[in-house]
Chain A
């Protein structure tokens, strides 16, 4: 082990995780430059956000996992409290109440929950023998359902799904029995009509458009059709950087945020997509590796839950852009323009690194 690696080890940085993450961020800046119409100013801003997020990751990585476990319930409680505040007084942004203005800066409590929920579930379950009994299962489920419902009521369906997925991932990894899983699946299927009834009109339209985009090609189906055209016209090698007509001629909606993957597909083609998927796969495999090698239940449940959530992020976004899933406002991890999801992701990676790098210190 050379000195440089040793230094990074001491700084609690996990190189196999750090390296692909930084590469993906780099690719993100390149794509954004094209997607945002070669706006250098915007790229600088995003670069600064990446730097800040990396710094935060570094700080989180220094915290020992035991400490993280101890903070989990407080962190969760704070998040739920802020969610309640948002529902009460939150600013209205894009027709949905998501932001809490704290004067100095705005925070999106639903983002906090993406980490707080797997943390608290992992903390709650790690305390006792696994797999959890029925009572503990119900309590853990409530810990997940309460914030999910609050987020869905903002309304912010995408984040609610991700927060729920993060909690469920931890539950799944904790070894919940198959018959319970089957039962929950059945219950969910039965609940679909109820969910449909509770959905906002625009949410229903999204689902309908997903099922048949040609139904309203100039209205709400437009995004899906144009996104498919962008992806498909990219072909094997893509149209080349800065040459994507769909995005540059404004046919593609939300092209620097939720639909940035379509721009990437159009300009870099199937080859480019393969590269990006490989990098993501590398991150996920490394994450799973960290989870498998975590030394306590909390660490392994949390690491596993976070990395599965990361996958859900990628899958839902790509599924949406390629027309396989309904349009939900989920950005492409590490690439889409914007700071909030970036910070959340980096904090998650920081936790993964903390779990992995503090391990040896414990074993020594």
Chain B
């Protein structure tokens, strides 16, 4: 109570208060100036920087993948299609109780542990409103079953995406190839931005070789997104340019006929249209289903394919190196005429064996007792080995090498799909380089019957046969004959087929060779006379039997007593019709025995089908 009596200096208190208010006002003014300075810095000085940041924040550029071009056969059959593949997808933000939902789904759709594990892994990575796939490649039945139950599963949906599908499956696998998921190696050889929305890329065959044509050009859409990346609206859109459709020279029905004729045996068939170089059939047997590779093949299935003794993944038509056997004879006969080493009517005595001067080594004819006096046509018709031992010896290795190279044997044909093997036409240089040994005359002798070091691929052999049938006009073999824009239907640029000539000095040298090849199938003593019987057209051919184990050739020992994988390869080259060739083939049946037994009948079936089918 005492204190209340203390005198209060009200005016002094008021003065102090005023000073303090002024001071507070000054401090506030300074602080406000700080805020204003900061705003000037952000809004006026650094404005451009922040407007850029805000722009980057909201606009995202998303790729629109182009639709891949289709591949058709010459007979208009779709060989590579884009089909909707159905997958079961879940939008996480719309689901309550993920485990329960999946358990319920399992009751109507086959979902295994692998699917569930992959799903949960993806679930962690993706955003809550993005659909996460649970099962791929639903069957039609599963799609139907889910559709009926759809109301029970909000947030679960069936998504259709285009995937590559090869309707003919294994039939066209080695020619058309397949697409697969893009991997890191692929990304190194493509324009990454053009593939930003694409999941698949050509891995083999036409799909790989014409990747840039088939793929098309990626489109873009600018979208406005919110902070979580959800698309709010599309601001701008550049449509994708679809890939171009390919029409390939392959005849799907001929391909089927050839595959059926091979009947599952290991081997290769290549048929070429001599006029254009277009590949009519390209078969490597056994084959595999390319569809299995499109969305990634399971490791077990791939292992099975890889370990399969028939080696289905191996493209025999392009990569198989085979000794040509007697199919080389018409080419060597032509060489002999060209170099003046033989006259067509000049006789060579065939006692059933051949011996080089000064050597004791004996080279046997396939026919015990020999062919007797043999001229050039007869040597081809009856496939006389002794005649060609002697002919090869007289030609010499250098001229043989040079001449066979002119037909494209022993080197890549340049067919428009990748992966070709070189084959081998040996030369003195080659032997010195690779074996560090000089060339022996005996090696020239066995070259005369297509044995020894000589190796050719089926596509080389078919191409050489086509060139022979066209009397020297060589067309580089190729599969794609037309590229078409799917929107305008206008054909796109395709370089002209490479054409070259095998120069033969005397044009009439072709005649005895070709007529002898006609007699191989139509003559009374021809090695393939059974295959030529009753043909409504005339065709030409040459059988070949390539020896895999070094045994003396005897008539009795035709290979059938050997274990299958050591039996001879059966070969046949031919073309039809003989005077106006429209199809030339090379057929190789591995371990098929003699050329007349296995390969020639197959060629006959091809000719029958192709010539009748195309309206002869």
Q: Give the 3 A-B CB pairs with smallest separation, nearest first.
A: A232-B50, A233-B54, A175-B16
- Which of A131, A230, A251, A273 lies in contact with B39, CB distance below 8 A? A273
Contact pick for A249, options B38, B47, B226, CB 8 Å? B226
Query: Which of A63-71, A153-161, A318-326 sits within the interface?
Result: A318-326
Q: Is A172 an interface residue (CB 8 A)?
A: yes
Count chain A CB atoms within 10 A of each CB in B18, B34, B42, B46 and give the residue with the most.
B42
Please tell me if B361 contacts chain A, counting CB pairs below 8 Å. Answer: no
The minimal Cβ–Cβ distance linking B59 to chain A, given in whole angstroms, is: 9
A233 close to B53 (CB less than 8 A): yes
A231 near B32: Cβ-Cβ < 8 Å = no
Task: Report the Cα distance A300→B16, complex, angstroms.
Answer: 12
A275 in the interface (beta carbon within 8 A): no
Kindly report which residue of chain B lies nearest to residue A324, judged by CB atoms: B38
Q: Are B43 and A245 in contact (CB-based, < 8 A)?
A: no
- Give Cα A301 to B226, complex, Å: 49
Residue of A nearest to B51 (CB): A233
Known: A175-B17, A324-B35. A235 touches B44 (CB 8 A): yes
* Contact with B58, one of A235, A249, A319 (Cβ below 8 angstroms): A249
Shortest Cβ distance from A127 into chain B, in angstroms?
9
Contact between B28 and A231, CB atoms less than 8 A apart: no
A315 CA to B32 CA in the complex, in Å?
7
Residues 1-40 (chain B) with a chain A CB within 8 angstroms: 3, 6-9, 13-14, 16-18, 20-21, 24-25, 28, 31-32, 34-36, 38-40
B224 interface residue (CB < 8 Å to A): yes
19 A–B pairs (Cβ distance < 8 Å), ordered by A: A129-B6, A129-B8, A130-B13, A172-B24, A175-B17, A230-B54, A231-B39, A231-B42, A231-B43, A232-B49, A249-B57, A249-B226, A269-B43, A270-B44, A273-B43, A304-B17, A304-B20, A315-B28, A322-B42
Which residues does chain B contribute within 8 Å of A301, judged by CB atoms?
17
* Distance to closest chain A CB from B178 (angstroms): 41
| A198 lies within 8 A of chain B by Cβ | no
Contacts of B3 in A (CB 8 A): 128
Residue in chain A with minimal CB distance to B40: A270
With A235-B47, A249-B57, A269-B43 already in contact, 10 other A-B pairs whose C-beta atoms are closer than 8 Å: A129-B8, A131-B16, A231-B42, A232-B50, A245-B55, A251-B58, A266-B54, A277-B35, A288-B21, A291-B17
Closest to A300 in B: B17
Q: Is B232 an interface residue (CB 8 A)?
A: yes
Chain A interface, DSSP helix/strand/loop, else mixed: helix
B43 and A250 contacting across the interface, CB-CB below 8 Å: no
Chain A residues packing against B (C-beta within 8 Å):
128-131, 169, 172-175, 226, 228-236, 245-246, 249-251, 265-266, 269-270, 273, 277, 281, 284, 288, 291-292, 297, 300-301, 304, 308, 311, 315, 318-319, 322-324
Q: Which of A131, A234, A301 has the most CB of B within 10 A?
A: A234
Q: Tell whether, in the assembled complex, residue B43 and residue A235 are in contact, meaning their CB atoms are under 8 Å apart.
A: yes
B616 lies within 8 A of chain A by Cβ: no
Q: Is B114 an interface residue (CB 8 A)?
A: no
Q: Is B227 an interface residue (CB 8 A)?
A: yes
Nearest Cβ on chain A to B225's Cβ, whole angstroms: 7
Query: Within the complex, what minimum Cβ distance (angstroms) separates A34 from chain B?
Result: 15
Q: Is B125 on the interface with A (CB-CB < 8 A)?
A: no
B507 at the interface (CB under 8 A from A): no
B189 interface residue per 8 A CB criterion: no
The distance from the CB of A240 to the nearest CB of chain B, in whole angstroms, is 13
Interface residues in B534-590 by Cβ distance below 8 A to A read: none
Interfacial chain A residues near B58, Cβ < 8 Å? 245, 249, 251
**B38 & A322 in contact (Cβ 8 Å cutoff):** yes
In the complex, B228 has a CB within 8 A of chain A: yes
Contact of A229 among B17, B50, B226 (CB under 8 A): B50
Chain B residues with CB under 8 Å of A233's CB are 47, 50-51, 53-54
CA distance A14 to B580 in the complex (A): 113
Partner of B47, one of A173, A236, A319: A236
Complex partner residue of A246 from B16, B32, B57, CB under 8 angstroms: B57
The smallest C-beta distance from A214 to any residue of chain B, in angstroms, reads: 13
Which residue of chain B is the closest to A173 with respect to CB atoms? B20
State the CA gap A227–B308 with chains docked (Å): 64
A7 to B272, CA, bound (A): 109
Q: How far is the CA of A113 from the CA of B389 in the complex (A)?
A: 117
CA distance A169 to B46 in the complex (A): 35
Output the nearest chain A residue to B20 by Cβ-Cβ distance. Answer: A173
* Interface pair A250/B228, CB less than 8 Å apart: yes
Q: Taking the nearest CB of chain B, how far is it from the CB of A9, in angstroms? A: 24
A155 to chain B, nearest CB (A): 26
Contacts of B43 in A (CB 8 A): 231-232, 234-236, 265, 269-270, 273
